[in-house]
C-alpha cells in the first residue's frame, strides 16, 4: 500500500462508479449536516480573554509553552544539561496535567526538530483501529452524526501517538533519562497542580463534562461545580502511569500491562480499539517538508510537518503570498493566498499512506505562479481547488475541522530547535479519562461522510489511517541552515492562518516576538474573511472596499514564537492563553 499509495484510491474510485450516485437530495442533506458539524467545531476551546504578554530573551536557550509550570519544567531540564528533546518530554508531561483540556499523553502530536541544517519531522498522529470503516460516523439512515454525539463516543478515540513521538525524539536527541524528565509532572500530580483561570472558565462552560462520570469526578466538585482557580488538583492515577514510564521507559505505554489497561477501559466505554491496535502503534519519522524561501535579499528555507499535518498548506500559502503582486496590500495578499491554499487543502490533503497527496505538484513553481496570478485587486470569493497532476478526482471536503490543542517551542544551548503541536482534538477530548489521561476524540477529524456528489473524499475514514490535521509547527532557516524563526499554534483549521500570518509579518520585517504573537488575526478559509475582534476600522474598511465579506470573531490562538536576534534569542507566548516564555 505504501509503495503505490494511489492504488487503493484508484480501485475504490473504479468500484464506486458501479453504484448509483447519491441523489441530489441526499447530497444536499449531507452538505447541510456537514455544515452544522463545522459550525459546532468552530470554537473547540473558547476564548477566555487576554492574559499578560510574556516575552523573554536569552543568549543560549529559550522555552515557550502554554503554561508557566510547563515552561519551568522544560527550562529546568535545559539547565541540567538536557536537550530540546528532553525539555519537550518534561513540558508535555506537565501540560497534560495543568492544561489537560488541550493536550496530553492521551492524544497525538506533530514534532519538528532542526540541528546542523537537518530538519526532521515526527508524526505522532493518532490512528484509526483495524475495525474502523467509512460508515463510522454515519447513522442508520446514512446521514452523518451530530458532532457532540460523535465526539462523546468512545469510538471517536484514536490510538494515541504523543508518547511514541516523544520517544522517537528522545532516542535521537535526548541526553537525560526519562526518570528525570517526568519528575516535575509526577511531583505536581501527587501534590496537586493549581487550577488555572482558563481551565476553570472552560470547565464551567462545558456541559459534556458532567455527563461523563470519569470527567465529572475529576473536573467538578461534589456539587457538580468547576473547581475554582487556584484549587490544587491532584491526579494520582496520572502519577502512577508516569512513574511506570519513568522506570520502564516510554515503550511501556504501548506494551502489555498498560495496553491492556487502556484498551479494556476504552472497550468498556464502547471503543473497538484492540490490544493489537494499541501495541503496534508507531510514530513516523521523515525529513521535514521544506521549500526555498527568500526575504529581504536573503535566501533560506521554510520547513514544516508534511501531510497529514497542515504544513503543506502553510508553505503553499507563503509561496503564493510571496509570488503575488507585491504592490497589493499585505492584508489582501495574505487573505487571498490563504483562500487559494485552503481550497487545495480541502480537496487533496489526507494521510499519504492511503491517498496520493500531490505535494510536489502543489508546491511546484509552475503551479504556485499560476495560482498566485489569480490574486488580483479584488477579493475572489469562494474559489475551487486547482488541478494538480497526478491527483485523482476527489470531492472538496466541506468540514472545517477544529481542535483543542497546545503548542510549544524550545531551543537548547547546543543549537537544537524543536517545535511541537500536540492535541486531543475537542476541548477535553472525548470526555473520557483513563489512567489519569483525557482521551482524544481525534477520529472525528475524519470526514464524516466518505463521498459527496459521487466523488470520494480524501480524508474519509479507513482502518489504520491517520486523520487530516491543521497542526503545522514551522521553522524558517537562513542560508547557513540556522533556524531564525519558530512558530506554531493551536486553533484547529485556523492554525494554518495563524501560522501563515506570523510568517508573513516576519517576512515583512516584524522581528519582535512579542509583536508577532500579539498582532490581531486576519484569515480566510475559502469564504468569509475572519477578523479578530478589535480589528482596526481603517484596515477593515480597506478590505471591504476590495470586496471582502468580513466578520469579527474571537480567536483563541496559542502561538509560541522564537526569533533569532543578533544578540541571541527572543521568545514570546500568545497573550490569548496563559503561556510563558523563559530563557537564559
pLDDT tens track for 203-246: 999 989 999 999 999 999 999 999 999 999 999 999 999 999 99
Looking at per-residue pLDDT, the higher value among 153 and 83 belongs to 83
The secondary structure element, H or E, covering residue 523 is strand 522-524
Give the angle subtended at the CA of 351 by the CAs of 468 and 174, to the nearest 5°: 85
**Beta pairing, strands 298-304 & 289-295:** antiparallel
Distance CA 27, CA 227 (A): 45
Mean pLDDT, residues 470-486: 97
Contacts 24+ apart (CB under 8 A), 366-372: 368/316, 368/319, 368/320, 368/323, 369/323, 371/320, 371/340, 372/319, 372/320, 372/321, 372/323, 372/324, 372/337
When mean pLDDT is compared across 42-56, 437-451, 557-571, the lowest value belongs to 42-56
The CA-atom distances, in angstroms, between 465 and each of 60, 158, 307 are 40, 10, 12
CA atoms within 13 A on the CB side of 342: 29
Sorting pLDDT into bands at 50, 70 and 90, what band is 518?
very high
Contact by Cβ (8 Å): 75, 582: yes
Distance CA 185, CA 192 (A): 10
Residue 42: predicted pLDDT:
44
The secondary structure element, H or E, covering residue 203 is helix 197-205
Specify the CATH number for 43-288+414-583; select among 3.90.1150.10, 3.40.140.10, 3.60.20.40, 3.40.1010.20: 3.60.20.40
The position carrying cell 526575504 is 295
Give the mean pLDDT of the chain: 91
Distance CA 169, CA 285 (A): 9
Summarize pLDDT for 88-107 with one digit per residue, the tens: 999 999 999 999 999 999 99
The position carrying cell 480524501 is 458
Q: Dig out the grid coordinates for 350 from the structure.
A: 489526507
Summarize pLDDT for 119-139 with one digit per residue, the tens: 999 999 999 999 999 999 999
CA 62 vs. chain centroid, Å, equals 22
In terms of pTM, does the model score above 0.75? yes
CA 17 vs. chain centroid, Å, equals 35
- 27 has a pLDDT exceeding 90: no
The CA-atom distances, in angstroms, between 530 and each of 143, 246, 526 are 30, 45, 10
Contact by Cβ (8 Å): 419, 303: no
**Beta pairing, strands 474-478 & 298-304:** antiparallel
When mean pLDDT is compared across 333-337, 419-423, 449-453, 523-527, the lowest value belongs to 449-453
CB atoms within 10 A of CB 138: 17
Residue 11: predicted pLDDT:
24
- For 273, the 3-state DSSP assignment is coil
The CA-atom distances, in angstroms, between 566 and each of 58, 138, 187, 484, 512 are 11, 55, 38, 10, 12
Closest CA to 352 of 259, 242, 469: 469
> Which amino acids are annotated catalytic?
405
Distance CA 462, CA 465 (A): 5
The secondary structure element, H or E, covering residue 245 is helix 236-248
When mean pLDDT is compared across 33-42, 550-559, 562-571, the lowest value belongs to 33-42
Domain residue limits, the chain: 43-288+414-583
Buried residues in 151-180 as b, exposed as e (16+ CB within 10 A): bbbbbbbbbbbbbbbbbbbbeebbbbebeb
Q: Dig out the grid coordinates for 560 from the structure.
A: 509560541
Residues 6+ apart with CB under 8 A from 395: 347, 451, 452, 453, 455, 456, 457
Residue 535: predicted pLDDT:
95
Specify the DSSP class assigned to residue 138.
B
The secondary structure element, H or E, covering residue 268 is helix 256-268
Percent of the chain with pLDDT over 90: 85
As a whole number of Å, the CA-based R_g of the chain is 22
Contact by Cβ (8 Å): 414, 483: no
Residue 41: predicted pLDDT:
44
Residue 20: predicted pLDDT:
31
The position carrying cell 500568545 is 574
CA 134 vs. chain centroid, Å, equals 23
Amino acid at each position: 500500500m505504501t509503495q503505490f499509495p494511489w492504488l487503493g484510491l484508484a480501485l475504490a474510485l473504479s468500484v464506486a462508479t458501479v453504484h448509483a450516485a447519491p441523489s441530489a437530495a441526499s447530497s444536499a442533506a449531507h452538505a447541510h449536516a456537514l455544515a452544522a458539524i463545522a459550525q459546532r467545531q468552530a470554537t473547540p476551546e473558547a476564548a477566555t480573554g487576554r492574559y499578560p504578554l510574556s516575552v523573554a530573551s536569552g543568549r543560549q536557550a529559550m522555552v515557550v509553552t502554554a503554561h508557566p509550570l510547563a515552561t519551568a519544567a522544560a527550562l529546568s531540564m535545559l539547565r541540567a544539561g538536557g536537550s530540546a528533546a528532553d525539555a519537550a518530554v518534561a513540558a508535555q508531561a506537565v501540560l497534560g496535567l495543568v492544561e489537560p483540556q488541550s493536550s496530553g499523553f492521551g492524544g497525538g502530536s506533530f514534532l519538528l526538530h532542526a540541528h546542523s541544517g537537518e530538519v526532521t519531522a515526527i508524526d505522532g498522529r493518532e490512528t484509526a483501529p483495524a475495525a474502523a470503516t467509512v460508515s463510522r460516523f454515519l447513522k442508520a439512515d446514512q446521514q452523518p452524526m451530530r458532532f457532540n454525539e460523535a465526539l462523546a463516543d468512545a469510538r471517536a478515540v484514536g490510538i494515541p501517538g504523543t508518547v511514541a513521538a516523544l520517544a522517537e525524539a528522545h532516542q535521537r536527541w535526548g541526553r537525560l533519562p526519562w526518570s528525570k524528565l517526568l519528575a516535575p509532572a509526577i511531583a505536581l500530580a501527587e501534590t496537586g497542580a493549581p487550577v488555572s483561570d482558563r481551565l476553570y472558565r472552560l470547565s464551567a462552560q462545558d456541559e459534556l463534562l458532567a455527563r461523563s462520570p470519569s470527567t465529572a469526578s475529576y473536573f467538578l466538585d461534589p456539587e457538580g461545580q468547576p473547581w475554582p482557580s487556584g484549587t490544587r488538583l491532584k491526579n494520582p492515577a496520572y502519577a502512577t502511569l508516569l512513574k511506570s514510564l519513568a522506570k520502564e521507559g516510554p515503550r511501556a505505554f504501548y506494551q502489555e500491562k498498560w495496553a491492556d489497561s487502556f484498551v479494556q477501559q476504552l472497550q468498556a466505554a464502547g471503543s473497538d480499539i484492540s490490544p493489537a491496535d494499541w501495541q503496534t502503534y508507531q510514530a513516523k519519522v521523515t525529513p521535514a517538508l521544506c521549500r526555498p524561501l527568500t526575504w529581504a535579499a536573503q535566501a533560506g528555507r521554510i520547513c514544516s510537518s508534511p501531510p497529514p499535518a497542515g504544513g503543506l498548506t502553510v508553505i503553499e500559502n507563503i509561496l503564493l503570498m510571496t509570488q503575488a503582486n507585491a504592490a497589493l496590500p499585505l492584508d489582501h495578499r495574505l487573505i487571498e493566498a490563504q483562500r487559494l491554499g485552503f481550497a487545495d487543502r480541502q480537496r487533496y490533503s489526507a494521510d499519504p499512506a492511503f491517498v496520493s497527496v500531490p505535494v510536489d505538484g502543489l508546491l511546484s513553481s509552475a503551479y504556485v505562479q499560476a495560482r498566485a496570478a489569480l490574486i488580483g485587486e479584488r477579493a475572489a470569493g469562494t474559489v475551487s481547488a486547482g488541478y494538480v497532476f497526478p491527483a485523482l478526482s476527489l470531492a472538496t471536503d466541506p468540514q472545517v475541522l477544529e481542535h483543542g490543542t497546545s503548542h510549544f517551542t524550545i531551543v537548547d544551548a547546543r543549537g537544537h530547535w524543536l517545535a511541537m503541536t500536540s492535541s486531543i482534538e475537542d476541548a477535553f477530548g472525548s470526555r473520557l479519562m483513563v489512567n489519569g489521561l483525557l482521551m482524544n476524540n481525534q477520529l472525528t477529524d475524519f470526514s464524516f461522510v466518505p463521498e459527496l456528489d459521487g466523488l470520494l473524499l480524501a480524508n474519509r475514514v479507513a482502518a489504520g489511517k491517520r486523520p487530516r490535521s491543521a497542526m503545522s509547527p514551522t521553522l524558517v532557516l537562513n542560508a547557513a541552515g540556522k533556524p531564525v524563526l519558530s512558530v506554531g499554534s493551536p486553533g484547529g483549521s485556523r492554525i494554518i492562518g495563524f501560522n501563515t500570518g506570523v510568517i508573513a509579518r516576519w517576512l515583512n520585517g516584524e522581528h519582535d516576538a512579542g509583536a508577532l504573537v500579539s498582532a490581531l488575526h486576519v484569515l480566510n478559509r475559502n469564504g468569509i474573511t475572519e477578523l479578530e475582534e478589535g480589528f482596526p476600522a481603517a484596515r477593515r474598511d480597506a478590505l471591504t472596499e476590495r470586496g471582502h465579506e468580513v466578520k469579527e470573531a474571537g480567536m483563541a490562538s496559542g502561538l509560541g514564537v522564537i526569533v533569532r536576534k543578533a544578540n541571541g534569542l527572543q521568545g514570546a507566548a500568545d497573550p490569548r492563553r496563559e503561556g510563558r516564555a523563559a530563557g537564559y
